[in-house]
Every structure is written in structure tokens, then in C-alpha cells.
Amino acid sequence: MGKFVNSTEEFFKFCKENEVEFVDFRFTDLKGTWHHVTYMMDAVSAEQLDNGLPFDGSSVEAWQPINKSDMILKPDVETAFLDPFTADPTIIVFCDVYDIYKGQMYERCPRSIAKKALQHLSESGVGDVAYFGPENEFFVFEDVKIKDTINESYYKVDSEDGEWNDSTDYEVGNIGHRPRTKGGYFPVAPIDNGVDLRAEMMQVLKQVGLTVVLGHHEVAQGQHEIGVVFGDLIEAADNVQKLKYVVKMVAHLNGKSATFMPKPLFGDNGNGMHVHQSIWKDGKNLFYKQGEYGNLSDMARHYMGGIFKHARAVAAFTNPSTNSYKRLIPGFEAPSILTYSSQNRSASCRIPYGAGEKATRIEMRFPDSTACPYLAFAAMLCAGLDGIKNKYEPIGPMDDDLFELSLDEIREREIPQMPHTLRGSLEALIRDNEFLQPVFTKEMIDIYQHYKFETQVWPYEARPTAFEFKTTYSC
């Protein structure tokens, strides 16, 4: 990630040069949602940046009780960048959260947890840096309607891409060029009508410091992806927050709505967040060993084995919404079978083709963008390090099309699978969490699983759906 400042002194110099009027301090909650507080530029001092800024931690879901609500935002000035969307010059700064009661970084602050994960890596002696490269897919819709009341519940999304609009009357006429269900991968305009929108997103992402590589229409109708360069664990997670902000805002300012929701369309592909990973030490890629399958070292294979061993619990962080598991059903290119393969996108872990020493890595394909990136990356790193420590061997490689396997065949081969529901992943987390505890405290894990049950699982399970009315109303 490109840095605009490297010190507090440079921060104030940069702000002066760019006539900054406001400083926007941002932090991330357990869901991965960004929160912010905006200060006048002339109200911000070097002492505040060093010592932190007070805020109310009780007003953030699943954080502090009201009788212990005072917390401190610790700005990381090296993350500063100019907000490309505000009317007045504003600079954004990422913050960590400090617990004044325990005198330490807050154990429920995702960014602080991610920093502890890097410290755990270093203390393990395995490596000195972990690189992550997330690929965040998203949909763009022109209209979104949602209603959720005691006697009525529905959603309706609309995209000019959707084949359901073939007979829609438009003021300028119906162009007729659409990608069709599962037909959206790499078509040119006019079928791909998002070229200019993605180009604007890519330009703004570059403006805020990301190294942008590519953009394209994805498989589903209305679905897109923009590829950015990987970074270390913290950089990569910061980049996800910036990318989601930019994508949503550019769409918004163009009269459209962007979503990273895993499965907004029934019967078409969903949004994933494939995550490329590798561990390095002293400038050497420890996942590389020439001549082995996929040029993967034993360490890389054991790291993968650790993620698969704990995948059902890891999923509570990498796939943390009820909607996540609608994406993982068979038939929509979302891998849920826990094996690995070189080049094969039907496996949960793919080893990308043609990677030399510097580019050799693994690609976990089951995560999605409802994940808080800091927690998801930290959980996978913890599981991977546990795999290296215990030399867990993953099942595989399996080079055949796993999407063609029946459920009976998967069971006969004793191939493990991802959980089928968020409830399943949270129950797995309750049983299997020791591998996380060098980084995640027991209290944090307990709070997290209760929070997800209360805000996702129980409300979801309590609601009747249109499909249930369709299939059971006349029984």
C-alpha cells in the first residue's frame, strides 16, 4: 500500500500542503464495519496523535458496557490518505483501540488482534512476515428494496444486467445486451455495461494509495471484481476497508448501489473473497520448494492442513453471516470441499499456475467479504501456524472437478467439508478455539460467538420466508 506520510511531522506537513480542513479518524468493529469521528484540523495536535483520542465504546455493538465505556483511539498516521469524496479537504486515518481499564490494546479491536497475529508469527520463529492477497467480488444494482416486519418480508434488487429485464420498457429503449445467468465472465461492451464505472473505481483506488492491477465483469449478472496488489496482513486488511469504501461510494455517486453480500441473487453465482497467502522469512518465501506438487513446500502444505483442520471454526470469521452459506451450496463455483489442487478452482484451496519462487502461494477460496478482514486473516494465520506446528496433512491433491461429486461420493472418500450454516461454524468455534488463543482471548471468542448467535442466527431462524409460505402454507 502506498504511504503518503511516515511520521507525525510528515502528517502535519502533508495536511498543510493539501489544505486539509478535517481529520477523519476511523476504526473497525467486530462485523468489519468502519466507524468514524471527524475533528477540525486545527483541533488536532501532535500530542493527541501520540496519546490518542477518547470515544464511547459502549455505543459500538458487542464492545464495552456503559459503566466502562471510555476508550481511546490510537491513530496510525502512516495509514493517512485524502478522502476523495468529501466536499471539504479531509484526511482519513486508521486507528487501533486502546483499553484504559486493562492498560493494553483492546482485545475486541480487530486491527489490534491482527497486529497480535503478526506478533504471534514472529514469536513462533516460523517467519517474519505473512502476505495476504484478498480478491473481493461485488454486485452493482440500480435499485434495492427491503422490508422486514412482523407480517411482511421481502427484498427486491434490480440490475440492468439482469436477464429478467429483457422485456422492461426503458425511456431510451431496451438495448437487449445482457450477460445471462452465469454468463458474465469477461464479455466486452455492450454486454459488459460496467466498464466506465469500474474504471472510475480503479482510478479512485489508485488515488487513495492502492496498487490496482485489473478490473472485469464477473460470472454473475451485475457482478464485478477489481484486483489490487497483496500486502502484509495489516496492509491487506486495511486495503479491504479502503476498497469497500471506494467501491460503494463511487457506485453511490453514480446513482447505483454496490454490495459485497455473498449471495444476493438466487440461482446465480455469489461473491467470494479468495485470499492468497504465504509466509516469508529474511526475504525468502517459505512456501516455495521447486519440484514438489505446485512447487509447494512442506510448510505450505502443513499451513494448509491447519486451516482445513480448523476450517469449521475458522469459518465463523471467514464466513460470518447466514447469507455466507447460501453461496457455498454446490453448483455455483463456491468451493466447500476441504482439499487442495494446483490450478483447480473447484478445490477449497488452489495453488495458482506458473508461480515462481516469489509468487508461490496458496489461495483459500471459501471466505467472503462479510468477513471482518482483520479477524479473517488473523484466524487463518493462527490455524495455519497450528498446522505447521503439528504437521497436519491436508487431504489431496485432488485434480478432478469436485463440483461433479455427489454428496455420497464426498462421504465415501471421507473428504471434509465446510459447515453448512453459520450455526454450525459457531458451534465448531465453541468446541475448537485453542489454536486461536495465542492471539484471540477466550473472552473475545466467547463475546463474538454470542454476538453472532444473537444478531444473525436466532433472528434468521425465527423468520418465515417466502419459500416456506410457498411450500408449507397449504399443508
Please say if 56 is a catalytic residue: yes
Distance CA 186, CA 264 (A): 21
Which one of 350, 365, 368, 386 is the catalytic residue? Answer: 365
Q: Is 68 annotated as a binding residue?
A: no
Which one of 111, 274, 312, 423 is the catalytic residue? Answer: 274
Number of H-type helices and E-type strands within the chain: 14, 19
Q: Is 137 annotated as a binding residue?
A: yes
Q: Pairing relation of β-strands 340-342 and 349-351?
A: parallel
Q: Is 107 annotated as a binding residue?
A: no
Q: Is 225 annotated as a binding residue?
A: yes
Please say if 225 is a catalytic residue: yes
Q: Is 200 annotated as a binding residue?
A: no
Which one of 9, 36, 50, 56 is the catalytic residue? Answer: 56
Please say if 274 is a catalytic residue: yes
Q: Is 51 annotated as a binding residue?
A: no
Q: Is 278 annotated as a binding residue?
A: yes
Q: Is 96 helix (H, G, I), strand (E, B) or coil?
A: strand
Q: Is 274 annotated as a binding residue?
A: yes
Residue count of the chain, please give it.
475
Quick one: how far is CA 236 from the chain centroid?
10
> What residues have CB less than 8 Å from 45, skipping those under 6 apart?
none
Which one of 135, 160, 235, 427 is the catalytic residue? Answer: 135
Q: Is 270 annotated as a binding residue?
A: yes
What is the widest separation between alpha-carbon atoms in the chain? 71
Q: Is 404 annotated as a binding residue?
A: no
Query: Could you report how far apart the first and last alpha carbons of the chain are, in Å?
Result: 58
Which one of 192, 225, 238, 386 is the catalytic residue? Answer: 225
Please say if 434 is a catalytic residue: no
Q: Is 327 annotated as a binding residue?
A: yes
Please say if 178 is a catalytic residue: no
DSSP class of 151? S
Q: Is 358 annotated as a binding residue?
A: yes
Please say if 365 is a catalytic residue: yes
Distance CA 282, CA 242 (A): 29
Which one of 96, 107, 218, 235 is the catalytic residue? Answer: 218
Which one of 83, 107, 192, 363 is the catalytic residue? Answer: 363
Closest CA to 248 of 127, 136, 172: 136
Please say if 218 is a catalytic residue: yes
Please say if 345 is a catalytic residue: yes
Distance CA 388, CA 121 (A): 11
Q: How far is CA 295 from CA 289, 298, 347, 365, 466, in A?
A: 5, 10, 17, 19, 49
Torsion from C-alpha of 330, 163, 184, 214, nearest 10 degrees: -120
Which one of 107, 137, 232, 235 is the catalytic residue? Answer: 137
User: 342 near 293, Cβ under 8 Å?
Assistant: yes
Q: Is 276 annotated as a binding residue?
A: yes
Q: Is 420 annotated as a binding residue?
A: no
Binding-site residue set for L-glutamate: 269-270, 327, 333, 345, 365
Binding-site residue set for Mg(2+): 135, 137, 218, 225, 274, 363
Q: Which residues are catalytic?
A: 56, 135, 137, 218, 225, 274, 345, 363, 365
Binding-site residue set for ATP: 276-278, 345, 358
Binding-site residue set: 135, 137, 218, 225, 269-270, 274, 276-278, 327, 333, 345, 358, 363, 365
